A and B are shown apart, each in its own frame.
Chain A
Amino acid sequence: MKILVCISHVPDTTSKINFTEGDTKFDTNGVQFVINPNDEFGLTRAMWFKEKQGANVTVVNVGGAETEPTLRKALAIGADAAIRVNRAATDGFSVAKQLAQVVKDGGYDLVIAGRESIDYNGGMVPGMIAGLTNANFINNCIGLEIEGTTAKAIREIDGGKETLSTTLPLVIGGQKGLVEESDLKIPNMRGIMMARQKPLTILEPVEATAETTSVKFEKPAPKGAVKLIAPDNLDALVDLLHNEAKVI
């Protein structure tokens, strides 16, 4: 089985978000970048398929040279090869189009992407890859088993979960639950050394017209001070929630 894991290169969750160039660009100054958390769960699940079922795992990112350390990290975790499509990730559709091309050219059976990236939160790239490559698609995937060309998956739904069956080729939008938090793989010294020998191929992008354009960013208005209520005066809290906030 050939697996492609899509890796989004995102600011660490503790990052303060600022913008530059007249609030049109994300300010990367002082920001540490990591593998998108949803993709980390997917990558670890891919490693399981590699160890237990002999799958071959390639990781891919659409982005500039600055994303290569993130791909190297994925190689150090255990992926066999990496691909970077040399194009700025300006919008979800153009990214999906690049990834769909990689999928078609590489003949992957399973594409693991994340439910959403924590930067632009489009939540659209995996579904678009599926649509563009005519593959089956399962979103919010929290469990995945594969036997031959048959897949059994669990999908989180609002208020519960669903067990689904489908066939390869398959694209998933994965998240926590695909593997447990405690099973997440982190690179060790040997992995980091081996990653240096593994191939990182740079591909030129295919043509894609952006369907959406980012115009500008803004930060939420600063929050007013909290109203403190004494713990022995909870009637006041009930009153405020009812009469002032009008939420109960």
Chain B
Amino acid sequence: MSVLVYTESEEGKFKKVALEVASYAKAVANQLGTTVTAITFNAEQVSELGNYGVDKVLNISNSELKTFNANGYAEAIKQVAEKEGTKVVILSSSANSKYIAPLLAVGLQAGYASNVIEAPSSTSPFTVKRTAFTNKAFETMTINTEVKIVGVSHNAFGLVETTGNASAENFSPSISNLQVQVESVDKASNKVSIADADIVVSAGRGLKGPENWGMIEELASVLGAATACSKPVSDLGWRPHSEHVGQTGKPVAANLYIAIGISGAIQHLAGINASKVKVVINNDPEAPFFKAADYGVVGDAFVVVPQLIEKLKTFKAQQ
């Protein structure tokens, strides 16, 4: 009966989203008067999950599932859900979770709501609120099936610490067919990804050319932030496509989004609107971004950004 949550880890360590979905699962379990069971793959310090409301951890250490595989992971989660008699499965909005969720939905004959931003407003009927129209609206939706799958939006629910102990068990699923093989992975290990970042520093065509991104990267590094860009910047090849954010690029739901030399077109704003605090630096006071931002500096990026870097370095040194 317990609420099942898929807690993602990397190199044995839990990601921040894992702690967020665990917190969310705890809230749902409280509503349903049940416990939380987490499922992890090859994680090490599983007891950490106890601090976020998890009662039991099922750790899967299967040699076939050492690296992510959507079919294999979905199959393992399905077997756990069936064994536990789970009625609610919680996942995140990471690329991997969104890959697994629809496969799992078919496997468990479960209704799936993605991009959910709040704990259910009711558990009968099971009612959740999600973003729709790329953050231009919210949708209230009921899940009608016996088993329900909820994909929680990044940074929407937050981390909720409690005191508790998570017991650990191992689980060995029987995996028949992985269907897709990973040949190689190409991942910058020293960079914060947009999906995982608390702060995102983003720049647009106002920067004039790729040679001017040094100060953007420096600002990001001072803040421990990820770098991003507007669509034309990636179309022009100034920055990789993976940095393109917006309605047709990656969504950003950071705590702080800093937009430099970005006009604030509707498609750009749609993708970054879920961020909590927005700062714009633009030399045109009429730029639409000023209507969407919390804080704004009207000024030349080439003057403002280097100064801001210095101020932040001083600030960080004092902390």
What is A's interface to B at a CB cutoff of 8 Å?
11, 13-14, 17, 19, 26, 37-38, 92-93, 96, 118-128, 130-132, 136-140, 142, 152, 155-166, 176-177, 181-182, 209-220, 223-224, 226-231, 234-235, 237-238, 240-242, 245, 247-248
Besides A125-B102, A166-B180, A212-B113, 15 other CB < 8 A contacts? A17-B136, A120-B133, A127-B106, A131-B106, A157-B96, A159-B194, A162-B185, A162-B186, A163-B184, A215-B141, A216-B140, A223-B292, A231-B307, A241-B295, A247-B255
Query: Would B114 and A124 count as touching, CB distance under 8 A?
Result: yes
Given contacts A128-B102, A177-B241, A247-B255, contact A212 B298 (CB under 8 A): no
> How near does chain A come to B149, taking the closest CB pair, in angstroms?
9
B317 interfacial contact with A, CB 8 Å: no
In the complex, 14 of the A-B residue pairs with CB atoms within 8 angstroms, ordered by the A residue number, are A17-B136, A96-B102, A121-B134, A122-B112, A124-B101, A124-B114, A152-B183, A157-B185, A163-B184, A165-B180, A176-B241, A217-B138, A218-B140, A238-B308
- Compute how far the CA of A56 lies from the CA of B299 in the bound complex, rounded to whole angstroms: 54
**Chain A's interface: helix, strand, loop or mixed, by majority?**
mixed
B196 touches A166 (CB 8 A): no
Interface window among B32-40, B44-52, B55-63, B266-274: B266-274
Residues of B within 8 Å of A165, CB to CB, are 180-181, 183
Q: Is the CB of A238 within 8 A of B290?
A: no
With A93-B105, A124-B112, A218-B137 already in contact, the answer to whether A228 and B296 are too (CB < 8 A) is yes
Contact yes or no, B136 A212, CB < 8 A: no
In the complex, which residues 292-319 of chain B have their Cβ closer than 8 Å to any Cβ of chain A?
292-300, 303-304, 307-308, 311-312, 315
Residues of B within 8 A of A224 (CB): 294
A212 & B144 in contact (Cβ 8 Å cutoff): yes
User: Residue among B179, B266, B293 with the most chain A CB within 10 A?
Assistant: B179
Complex alpha-carbon distance, A203 and B57, angstroms: 47
The answer to whether B86 has its CB under 8 Å from any CB of chain A is no
Q: Smallest CB–CB gap between B273 and chain A, Å? A: 7
A38 to B249, CA, bound (A): 10
Interface centre among A11, A14, A137 (most CB of B within 10 A): A137
The count of chain B contact residues (Cβ–Cβ below 8 Å) is: 89
Q: Which residue of A lies closest to B142 (CB)?
A: A213
Query: How long is the Cα–Cα vector from A242 to B109 in the complex, in angstroms?
Result: 47
For the A-B complex, the count of residue pairs with Cβ-Cβ distances under 8 Å equals 256
- State the CA gap A127–B74 with chains docked (Å): 11
Contact B137 A19 (CB under 8 A): yes
Contact pattern, B 121-152, Cβ under 8 Å of A = 1, otherwise 0: 00000010001111111111111110000000
B residues with a Cβ closer than 8 A to A are 70-71, 94-96, 98-99, 101-103, 105-107, 110-115, 127, 131-145, 179-188, 191-196, 198-199, 223, 235, 241-242, 244, 247-249, 255-256, 266-267, 270, 273, 276-277, 279-280, 290-300, 303-304, 307-308, 311-312, 315
Q: How far is the CB of B95 from chain A (nearest CB, A)?
A: 5
Partner of A121, one of B114, B183, B188, B294: B114
Q: In this complex, which of A93, A132, A140 has the most chain B Cβ atoms within 10 angstroms of its Cβ?
A: A93
Known: A159-B196, A231-B303, A234-B311. A218 touches B95 (CB 8 A): no
For the residues of B in contact with A, the DSSP-based class is mixed
Cα–Cα, bound, A152→B180 (Å): 10
Contact A159 B256 (CB under 8 A): no
| Cα–Cα distance between A157 and B70 once the two chains are bound (Å) | 12
Query: Which of B133, B256, B276 lies at the interface centre, i.e. has the most chain A CB atoms within 10 A of its CB?
Result: B133
- What's the minimum C-beta distance from A70 to chain B, rounded to whole angstroms? 17
Report the separation of the CA atoms of residues A159 and B227 in the bound assembly, to the nearest whole angstrom: 11
Q: Which of A13, A123, A137, A142 contacts B71 (CB 8 A)?
A: A137
Closest 3 CB pairs of A and B: A127-B102, A131-B106, A159-B193
Chain B min CB distance to A65 (Å): 23
List the B side residues contacting A120 at CB < 8 Å. Answer: 132-133, 139
Assess the A211–B110 pair: CB atoms within 8 A.
yes
Are A227 and B107 within 8 A (Cβ)? no
Contacts of A152 in B (CB 8 A): 183
Contacts of A136 in B (CB 8 A): 71, 179-180
B183 touches A164 (CB 8 A): yes
A156 to B242, CA, bound (A): 8
B291, A226: Cβ atoms under 8 Å?
yes
Query: In the complex, A127 Cα to B312 Cα: how many Å?
Result: 44
| Bound form: Cα–Cα A229–B242 in Å | 31
A159 to B219, CA, bound (A): 19
Would you call A132 and B106 a contact (CB within 8 A)?
Answer: yes
- Please, how many angstroms separate the alpha-carbon atoms of A247 and B278 in the complex? 10
- A160 to B185, Cβ gap below 8 A? yes
- The CA of A97 and the CA of B70, in the complex, are separated in Å by 20
